[in-house]
Structure 1
Amino acid sequence: MVTTDHGPRVEVTPAAAAVLRRLRAAHGPLMFHQSGGCCDGSAPMCYPAGEFRTGESDVLLERLVVAGLAEPVPFWMSRAQYAVWSHTRLTVDVVEGRGSGFSLEAPDGVRFLIRSRLVGS
């Protein structure tokens, strides 16, 4: 996992935490992966834990601790995307609207998105 003196690399808003609790109840343990592609590929995708295979081309940024969940939610990012975003801290939020069909929240009419803020490296 990436460590920093600037606090957690990734945080979750209360609204996103509520969606994660609902998804956890329906699907079991969860994970995020952020690939950095265009369109929906630039949004964090939420999957059942282990459904998306990670490897050498991915970086574990954070294990998100969400109140009400039995286990942390790992947040992975492609190594190439991390090279671009390494100077930021990310916040997972949720908004109304349709996101990717591959992310677990899509059928609920909401989508996860990333808000970022610059920090020193």
Structure 2
Amino acid sequence: PYILIVPIWLAVAIVLPLVQTLHALQAKSEDRKIWLFYWCLYCAASWAVYYFEWLISIPFYVLSFYVDIYYEAQVLLVLYLVFPKLLGIRGLLEFLSSRGHMVENLGKEHVKDVAKVVYDKFLDFNKKKH
């Protein structure tokens, strides 16, 4: 069935969202933000799968002894995100929007800590040089 997965993947992950994006752009609806988020998520997920597919596929490797559903699970996840009746991408956007400040604060703390360590190492390096 892998020969069937590719056209289904293209239809579900690219064609359907592209049609919905174009419709939202033409209608100038609020859904434009949702579809912009989808395409950003699509790019980020494509990058993550390219570099970390070995890590993502570990649970599916264990399952593959019984049933191989790795690609089917990907299609079902994307179908959940983009299917008009479900539109899981909207819920994901609302979830991340409502909790974004927590991630921002946590990120700022880590960046400050790392910047302090780098700055201290830089000062130590300059002292040793002179």
TM-score, scaled to structure 1: 0.29
Could you say which structure has the higher strand fraction?
Answer: 1
TM-score, scaled to structure 2: 0.28
Instruction: Look at both structures and tell me which one has the larger radius of gyration over its CA atoms.
Output: 2
